[in-house]
Structure 1
């Protein structure tokens, strides 16, 4: 697994299709592996008696909301490191990467300390039935133990992507995915640990992935003479720079949590169907986000080098790629729609609702292609403040439609309104020039 830590080829001017694919294709594999963790868990837990699958959906939604707020550790680090690579300063790039790793470890420990005792209350916010809440709390508490490792994976991934290396994250993600699947099947079905076995399998896989990233980043830091000691001003600066991304991500999590809570209140069949539909949407979203990862790395590098023309050119190309992939994914969902409920061994009541929702999942894939690409480009440019304000505006646009939704289909239609609002706000920003800030 090569670690790209030199400022030679990575700081070159390439922004064409070949360069986009060089970064996006490995990122695609790495990103797809992440939702595959959840898909694998859903397939295995789906073999357990109800309401195990619904409990997995509630606990995963809560955990995703908690960890999702820390996604700036990957996105912010990618942009910061890539900008320094573009400016020709790999040692400073590694310094910012090390600061991100220390911040990830500290935040991970804090998450455990705060959220462990609050786990039952967090689950209760979804309005789950007593048995479902009990299972969801068990899964959530075990999963929280893996938070430091998971956040180190996020930060380590950001460092390598900023260094224009998306191959190493691919190798780590695929290995972790395979290990997660084996452990989950063994713990849940072989040893009979139930939903707790699923959580333990994922925690172990995440811990081993974090260990690999630590080794690779430390090796790169030593190569460039970067100190491994925590630099408090640097860590504080990394946290401050990520605050706007936290707001942006918090808005996204509010949307997802609101949808899960409303689906839970509609009944066990609805939340089970919503859980499966969300897994499929997340799988496709991470696949589309591969182009956004390329956008973060290329935008940071080209703006660091002061080349706004290359930034514009790459952005246009990536938007085209995003739309094209969205069309393909939407058609694939429609073609597979009758077969997908069977993959999750869904009962008739769940299958009926899921098939209806999948029409909307397919319809909004091209919109998602534009949204994810432009989101990645603006993150790479360091335009976090605008993303925070846009997140607030689009969330406000979504909530009234979600609250009045009387069915699962209406709830997903409200989700589509949110995606359209995001596309409009991001497109308006990308069309202007305020985000094209150059230099280190």
Structure 2
């Protein structure tokens, strides 16, 4: 009973923090959205800034729901419930797809219609996540203001994860920024391919969620078993390799053989085709990267994960800057993305197979674990 109340208290604190951060992000989008977009695209791209700002302002309404929904999703996965989040995401996908067709194609609202459809789908998904958490015995709509000490504890865990996620998102943003300086046709091709890449990489995310759900009890739980943890990681990496090969093949064949699904502009299609090789190479390893980084998160090796991601980001950024100033090549940008992805894989793999790492060392991270459990 005490453990359940402690879990409820922690979830309530995280829900409050998520709500507060969501409101802050909403206000930031409202106040600084135009300035940030202008700095990103350049003052000469007025039409792009106007359209992008319309999209961002509408999507901004969903930020509180999105972050609260992510906390509810993580809590559900923590109690090994994947069906609830799956139903919510499936419903959101249907709402988003139907909304895009109705608002964009039928009603002719364009990018604003796409933004409204996505925003509504995210709010519905968040509500379904919260209701599912309620059904699991939690008070999902209970928000607790954390104390200063609790905030510090959360910060110690969240800060490395924040650095990891920010580095990854910032690298993708810089990749798009580099493509922006190469002209409208090159940017259009890049946007098509990066969107397809992101859509395909989602298929590897369940491997990370599986690792985060099942690894903690095997690594430092009451029934810890490092042999089973190593076997689970091996299975996840193998599944990731197979998934990457399938996704890479299918994901490459579609824009190669059926580019008209995305654009009818021959020059854009030509630019898409010249980056198919690095696109396949990046997609091939991504699911395995999810399984490795999910295991590092589950084992609370957060400092190493954030440091390795920061190193990959700094090297990738430096290479992008050199390439942009000297050559301005879209294939070059994508090969740097390949280096970024394979660098993440090599770093995580080396860490997890190390004899002193969490999967081989019985005393790894035990001090931090006992301290966290005591508090």
Normalising TM by the smaller chain, what interval? 0.7 to 0.9
- 1:216-255 maps to which residues of 2 (within 5 A)? 216-222=132-138, 228-233=142-147, 234=150, 237-255=153-171
Q: 1:167 to 1:422 in 2, by over 3 A?
A: same
1:175 aligns with 91
Runs of at least 5 residues in structure 2 that lack an aligned partner in the other structure? 359-363
Identify which range, 305-314 or 206-215, moves more after superposition.
305-314
The match for 1:269 among 172, 178, 185 is 185
- Cα distance in 2 between the residues matched to 1:249 and 1:90: 29
1:40 aligns with none
Asked whether the equivalents of residues 130 and 141 of structure 2 are also in contact (C-alpha less than 8 Å), the reply is no
The match for 1:313 among 214, 231, 234 is 231
Q: 1:134 to 1:318 in 2, by over 3 A?
A: same
Identify which range, 234-243 or 417-426, moves more after superposition.
234-243
1:97 aligns with 11
What are the superposed Cα offsets for residues 271-320 of structure 1, whole Å, 9 maximum, x if unpaired? 11111111111122111121111111111232323322222221121111
Mark the structure with the bigger radius of gyration: 2
Deviation at residue 236 of structure 1 after TM alignment? 5.4
Deviation at residue 414 of structure 1 after TM alignment? 0.8
1:356 aligns with 274
Runs of at least 5 residues in structure 1 that lack an aligned partner in the other structure? 1-5, 7-87
Deviation at residue 334 of structure 1 after TM alignment? 3.5
Matched, 1:117 2:44: no
Structure-2-length-normalised TM-score: 0.87
RMSD after superposition: 2.2
If asked which structure has higher relative contact order (CA below 8 Å, sep 6+), I would say 1
After superposing on structure 2, the runs of 4+ consecutive aligned residues of structure 1 that deviate more than 4 Å are 88-91
Asked whether the equivalents of residues 94 and 221 of structure 1 are also in contact (C-alpha less than 8 Å), the reply is no
What are the superposed Cα offsets for residues 307-364 of structure 1, whole Å, 9 maximum, x if unpaired? 2222222112111111121112222233323234211134111111112212211123
Deviation at residue 365 of structure 1 after TM alignment? 2.8
2:361 aligns with none
Per the alignment, in what secondary structure is the counterpart of residue 165 of structure 1?
A: coil
Aligned residues: 352
Q: 1:369 to 1:192 in 2, by over 3 A?
A: closer
Asked whether the equivalents of residues 8 and 138 of structure 2 are also in contact (C-alpha less than 8 Å), the reply is no
What are the superposed Cα offsets for residues 355-396 of structure 1, whole Å, 9 maximum, x if unpaired? 221221112333223322101111111221111111111112
What are the superposed Cα offsets for residues 140-185 of structure 1, whole Å, 9 maximum, x if unpaired? 1111111011112211111111111111111110111111111222
What are the superposed Cα offsets for residues 180-216 of structure 1, whole Å, 9 maximum, x if unpaired? 1112222222222221111111111111111112222
- 1:20-419 maps to which residues of 2 (within 5 A)? 89-128=3-42, 129-222=45-138, 228-233=142-147, 234=150, 237-302=153-218, 303-305=220-222, 306-405=224-323, 406-419=328-341
Structure-1-length-normalised TM-score: 0.75
Asked whether the equivalents of residues 126 and 260 of structure 1 are also in contact (C-alpha less than 8 Å), the reply is no
